[in-house]
Amino acid sequence: MGIIVKSPRELEGMRKAGKITAAILDTLRSEVRPGITTSMLDDVAVRELERHGAVSSFKGYRGYPNSVCASINEQLVHGIPGERKLKEGDIISIDFASVYEGFHGDAAFTVGVGEISAEAERLLATTEGALKAGISAAREGAHLGDISAAIQEYGESREFSVVREYVGHGIGREMHEDPQIPNFGSPGQGPVLKRGMTMALEPMVNAGGWRTKVLPDQWTVVTADGSLSAHFENSIAIAGDQAEILTLL
Ligand code: MF3
Ligand code: CO
C-alpha cells in the first residue's frame, strides 16, 4: 500500500479526530481511582464517543469486543475491560482510538492508581520520555529509523527494555497504515519522512526483559517475566522541524 502523505484538508480531518481522542482519554484519566473496574472505564468511553459523534476504532477490529484497551501492571497492551477493580499501587495503561468523519486518532497513556512505587514512577517517566524522544526525531527529511533509534535509546538508558513484538504505525483513514514503526532500530535506516505523513508512535517499555506473551483470552499481552510494563502513544503529523502532535487537547 505504501505510505500515504495527507493533503492539508486530510490533515484538518486528522486534527479533529485527534482532538476527540485526546479529550476522551483525558476524561478516562480523571476516572482512574481505586475501586473502579475497567469495564466502567469502557462505559465512560462509550458515553463520551456518543457525545462527540465519534465511533470507536477498536470495537470490532479483528473481533475486539470493546472501545478501550485497559492493561494493568504486567499487562502491556490489548487488555479487555472487565470486572477487575483497580487498586492503590496498580498502574493502568489505557489505549483508545476514535474515528471521526473518516479519520482515526490513536493515543495511550499509563497512569498510577493512587500511590505507586518509585520503580513504577521511573518506568512511567521513561516510557513517556521515550515517546517524546521519538516525536523529537520525527522531522521532515529524517529517516524512519531515526525515530525507532531515539525511542530505543531513551527506553534502554534506564536499564529497562523496549518491547519488540508490538510497533507503532501509520494512521489516517485506516487505524493501521504503512509504515510499521518499531520501537528499536538504527538511525539513517528506512524511508525518509515527508511533510503530511501521519503516524502513531507507541513505545511499550518493560521493567524486566522485552519478551511478551498473549493470555488465553487471545488478546491480553503480558510481559513474559511478569515485570511491570508501561505504554504511551500519540498520533503525530510530520511538519518540518517539529512534528505536530494530533492527539493533544
Ligand atoms: N492502539 C493499538 C494499536 O495501535 C490497539 C489496537 S488493538 C484493538 O494497535 F484491537 F484494540 F483495536
Ligand atoms: Co496504535
Encode 2-24: b = buried (16+ Cβ within 10 Å), e = exposed.
ebbebeeebbebbbbbbbbbbbb
Establish whether residue 69 lines the binding site of ligand 1, counting it when its CB lies within 6 angstroms of any ligand atom: yes
Backbone angles phi, psi at 85, to 5 degrees: -95, 135
User: Cβ atoms within 10 A of the Cβ of 63, count?
Assistant: 8
Domain limits, the chain:
8-245
Q: Is the pLDDT of residue 98 over 90?
A: yes
CATH topology assigned to domain 8-245: Creatine Amidinohydrolase (3.90.230)
User: Strands, DSSP E only, in the chain?
Assistant: 55-56, 68-72, 75-77, 91-100, 103-112, 161-162, 168-170, 177-181, 198-201, 204-206, 212-214, 221-223, 229-231, 234-237, 244-245
Predicted confidence (pLDDT) at residue 201 exceeds the cutoff of 90: yes
- Measured in degrees and rounded to the nearest 5, phi and psi for residue 126 equal -65, -40
For residue 58, which atom of ligand 1 is closest to its CA? Answer: 12
Provide the whole-model pTM: 0.98
Binding site membership of 95 for ligand 1 (Cβ less than 6 Å): yes
Residue 1 pLDDT: 75
- Determine whether the shortest distance from the Cβ of 106 to ligand 1 is under 6 A: yes
Of ligand 1's atoms, which has the minimum distance to the CA of residue 200?
A: 4
Closest to 208 in 3D by CA, of 123, 149, 87, 130: 123
Q: In this predicted structure, what is the pLDDT of residue 70?
A: 98
Question: Which residues are CB-neighbours of 12 under 8 A, at least 6 positions away?
Answer: none
The average confidence (pLDDT) of the chain is 98
